[in-house]
């Protein structure tokens, strides 16, 4: 993962955080909304790791060409699939980030640094 990838994808996580934060403004004393906000803060920071984990696992079993033809070709209908994918990655950011750490540990035994990972393992365009 590069710093550019992280910064580009954290914006989607921040947008989800803003949506949940707006809901909290309507009822700031509700415990359920406060718990949702705390989960959203953590998930917004971990969203890029979650997204990269899902992309890496999907590309392990398929090819890039599979994701650009047929049902997944670039058209107006694919925007809904992107939204579902982003919400899935945001909601499951915490457990998927743990999986990401396991992938990092397996692929780079010398370092836990995410930004020091070999590009060939985690490069997704």
The dihedral through the CA atoms of 119, 107, 61, 42 has a sign that is negative
How far, CA to CA in Å, does 105 sit from each of 13, 55, 82, 110, 113?
A: 24, 18, 29, 8, 9
2: Cα within 13 Å, side-chain hemisphere: 8
Lowest-confidence region among 35-44, 45-54, 71-80: 71-80
Q: Tell me, what's the pLDDT at 112? A: 45
Residue with the bigger pLDDT between 72 and 112: it is 72
Q: What's the CA gap between 16 and 122, in Å, rounded?
A: 24
> How many domains does the chain contain in total?
1
Structural domain for 73, as ranges: 3-122
Whether 29 has a pLDDT exceeding 80, the answer reads no
Q: Nearest Cα to 52, choosing from 84, 80, 18, 86?
A: 86
Whether 120 has a pLDDT exceeding 70, the answer reads no
Q: What's the CA gap between 16 and 117, in Å, rounded?
A: 28
Dump pLDDT digits (tens) for 54-90.
888 888 888 878 777 776 777 777 777 788 888 888 8
């Amino acid at each position: 993962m590069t710093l550019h990838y992280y910064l580009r994808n954290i914006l989607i996580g921040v947008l989800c955080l803003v949506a949940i934060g707006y809901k909290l403004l309507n009822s700031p004393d509700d415990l359920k909304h406060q718990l949702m906000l705390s989960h959203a803060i953590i998930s917004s920071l971990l969203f890029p790791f979650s997204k990269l984990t899902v992309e890496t696992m999907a590309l392990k079993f398929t090819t890039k060409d599979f994701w650009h033809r047929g049902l997944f070709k670039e058209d107006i209908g694919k925007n809904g699939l992107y939204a579902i994918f982003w919400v899935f990655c945001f909601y499951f950011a915490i457990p998927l980030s743990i999986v990401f750490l396991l992938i990092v540990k397996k692929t780079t035994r010398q370092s836990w640094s995410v930004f020091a990972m070999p590009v060939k393992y985690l490069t997704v365009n």
